[in-house]
Amino acid sequence: MLNIRPDQMKVFEEAALRRFEEEMVGHLRQLAPQHCNAVGEESLRLVVRTGLERAASYGLTNRGPVRFYLDLMIMLGSDFHTDPQYPWAEALLKDSAIPDQMDRAERLYEKAMDYSAKVFGQGYEQEKAAVRRAGLVKYEDLPSFAAGSVGELVKYFEKVFPEKVHYLGESPMSALAARERTLSEQHQLTLERGPTVLAGLIFAFGHGVTTDPQFPWVAATLVKDTQDAATRTERLFRRALTYQRLGQAQLR
């Protein structure tokens, strides 16, 4: 009779996990090749490992649900599970009334596809239009408003991506403004265009954008002892435009 020791079983499990990680890295590269190239190999693997851990914390351990969890990280940002822009995601992930992980993954898929159709549009034409409009904005023309100003944020983003603003509604936009105010204070970007740029990053890439391994250039630019606030703000804006042109060029 074959007798497998606990230490041998651990080796088998770790090898299986590494193979699955490799499979998921390859899957994301197929899903969003230009974005993944912009992220870089090391950060992409961190995204996958983070996703595997977070998916498991919500009871998602089967291949299909885990892979879709990673898809949502690419689509909405690595911290989509707690992002107030997507309250449906957290609600479904925590819904104890849906104990079966396949059922919860299916509900998540339905909500995500509804969001995609209404916000991005069929063929992503609405998202592409929003990216084009954002790309036409000059840094010098960015509005300057007080951190946490909900009304001004809504008016500004309606000009760039009205479909998303209308889909989110008042409460998520208020939460976005509150998050922007916190980050503005944390990174000392409370004057001039700092709040505007940070709000744009949150709106586009998720409320965890400043620490999201998908966007390492954000954290690197925010380091306070490298440039003054005005310089960091402008560099954030210009790097965001560069990312949109290079990393999101295929728009899924």
Q: Is the pLDDT of residue 146 over 80?
A: no
**Helices 41-57 and 6-31, axial angle in degrees (round to 10):** 120
Alpha-carbon 153 to chain mean position? 19
102 and 17 co-located in one domain: yes
pLDDT of res. 14: 65
pLDDT of res. 40: 92
41 and 116 co-located in one domain: yes
225 and 155 co-located in one domain: yes
What is the per-residue pLDDT across 82-102, written as a single tens digit (0 to 9) for each?
Answer: 999 999 999 999 999 999 999
> In sequence order, what DSSP letters do the residues of 31-99 get, joined into one string?
HSHHHHHHH-HHHHHHHHHHHHHHHHHTT--SHHHHHHHHHHHHHH-TTGGG-TT-HHHHHHHT-TT--
Q: Is the pLDDT of residue 11 over 50?
A: no
pLDDT of res. 252: 40
176 and 154 co-located in one domain: yes
- Point out the domain boundary residue: 65, 87, 120: 120
Contacts 24+ apart (CB under 8 A), 118-124: 118/163, 118/167, 119/161, 119/163, 119/164, 119/167, 120/163, 120/252, 121/163, 124/251, 124/252
210 and 160 co-located in one domain: yes
pLDDT of res. 2: 44
217 and 132 co-located in one domain: yes
172 and 195 co-located in one domain: yes
Length of the chain as a residue count: 252
73: domain range?
13-120
Total domain count, the chain: 2
pLDDT of res. 18: 86
- Point out the domain boundary residue: 120, 149, 170: 120
pLDDT of res. 249: 44
129 and 233 co-located in one domain: yes
Alpha-carbon 110 to chain mean position? 19
Q: Is residue 6 part of a domain?
A: no
> In sequence order, what DSSP letters do the residues of 124-155 get, joined into one string?
GHHHHHHHHHHHH--GGG-----TT-HHHHHH
113 and 39 co-located in one domain: yes
d(CA 204, CA 81): 16
36 and 108 co-located in one domain: yes
211 and 183 co-located in one domain: yes
- Point out the domain boundary residue: 83, 104, 120: 120
Q: Is residue 146 part of a domain?
A: yes
**Cβ burial, residue 59 (10 Å; 0-12/13-18/19+):** middle
Q: Is the pLDDT of residue 80 over 70?
A: yes
